[in-house]
Structure 1
Amino acid sequence: MSPYKQVRTINRGVTRKVRVQNTFYKSDLIDVAKELFFPDGRSSKGMIGEFSINLFDFQKNYLPDDMSVGELYDKTGLNSLRFYLATKQTNSTIWFPVGKKKKKKTY
């Protein structure tokens, strides 16, 4: 099982349909997905820098870095591709009580 968790909209998984160029690669798709799911670099779960991000295909396989959208169309024979943005937290934030205030430490 992958340590990544699928990113969903507030409505629990509404599909976002986006048209991209056939020349786009995984990094380009991730950039588009970050703009959709992390507007201004943040989501309800935290800042984008707190997460490792990956993309999966419809079979829950990691999307290859070196294959373009056009090549994926050719390989799968599908007329529509579906990708899933997934994240995993990269750092932990722990609160330590210090007097009456709480001090935030990040590791």
Structure 2
Amino acid sequence: MSDEELSSYLPHQGDRIRLRVHVRKEEETPRTKKNKLLTVLQEKLEAARKKKTTSKEEHNLEDMRNPHRPFGNRNAAKQNRMIEIGWIHKSNQRSTQIRKNKGGGTRKTEIPRHATKVEIIQQAIGLFFPNGLSSKGPLTNFNFDLWDFADREIDANVTVADMYERTKLPILRFYLATSQKTNDIGNTTDA
């Protein structure tokens, strides 16, 4: 609409100027309901991004203040590690896992990361043979060994940390492997 045509509706020139400014502003940013919602969403996302970068900057600043703070896998740097220990009994060339209701089951325990086979066996004996007794008999009637999660015998010099590094498992499982001791005659003792 030209200025002469608009003057018939709005006689004052200031009113016509305000109207033209208002119309131009509305044309540049249309205010539909959808656009309003998108604008609010964009503002929220931008605020979340700023908050996230601020927390990252604070975290980096904290790392700069404490240069001795370890990087990487902090669980691997711990002095003790959590492991699972089960009990497998071998008799007559058959290996059977001893279940919880028979005094076995799988137990979680914390052990030093540099513990070797002997230390793990001692820990397992303490768990499955309280006061030197178990559901299978007294501690003195058994030969003991330690197996890994794949039922293979573990080397005597391997540590828990070595096993974690080698297997890359989140938690290691060991098995206390027992078998009846044999007499001089070659028979097994009573169980």
**TM-score, L = length of structure 2:** 0.44
**Rounded Cα–Cα distance in structure 2 between residues aligned with 1:14 and 1:22:** 23
Does structure 1 residue 67 correspond to structure 2 residue 154? no
- The one of the two structures with greater contact order (alpha-carbon pairs below 8 A, sep at least 6) is 1
SS of the aligned residue for 1:17 comes to: strand
Q: Which runs of 5+ in 2 are unaligned?
A: 1-89, 183-187
**Rounded Cα–Cα distance in structure 1 between residues aligned with 2:119 and 2:94:** 19
Q: Structure 1 segments of 4 or more deviating over 6 A?
A: none
Matches within 5 A, 1:1-107: 3=93, 5-6=95-96, 8-11=98-101, 14-91=105-182, 92-93=188-189
Contact (CA 8 Å) 1:56, 1:63: kept in 2 or not?
A: yes
Contact (CA 8 Å) 2:132, 2:138: kept in 1 or not?
A: yes
1:15-73 Cα offsets, whole Å, 9 max, x none, are: 20111110100100000000010011111211111100111111111011110000111
| Identical-residue share of aligned pairs (%) | 37
Aligned residues: 93
SS of the aligned residue for 2:112 comes to: coil
Contact (CA 8 Å) 2:100, 2:106: kept in 1 or not?
A: no
Contact (CA 8 Å) 1:55, 1:86: kept in 2 or not?
A: yes
**Rounded Cα–Cα distance in structure 2 between residues aligned with 1:54 and 1:37:** 14
Q: Which runs of 5+ in 1 are unaligned?
A: 95-107
TM-aligned CA distance change 1:30 to 1:60, over 3 Å: same
> Which structure has the highest helix share of the two?
2
What's the offset of the Cα at 1:11? Answer: 2.4
Q: CA RMSD in A?
A: 2.1
Contact (CA 8 Å) 2:181, 2:189: kept in 1 or not?
A: no
> Which structure has the highest strand share of the two?
1
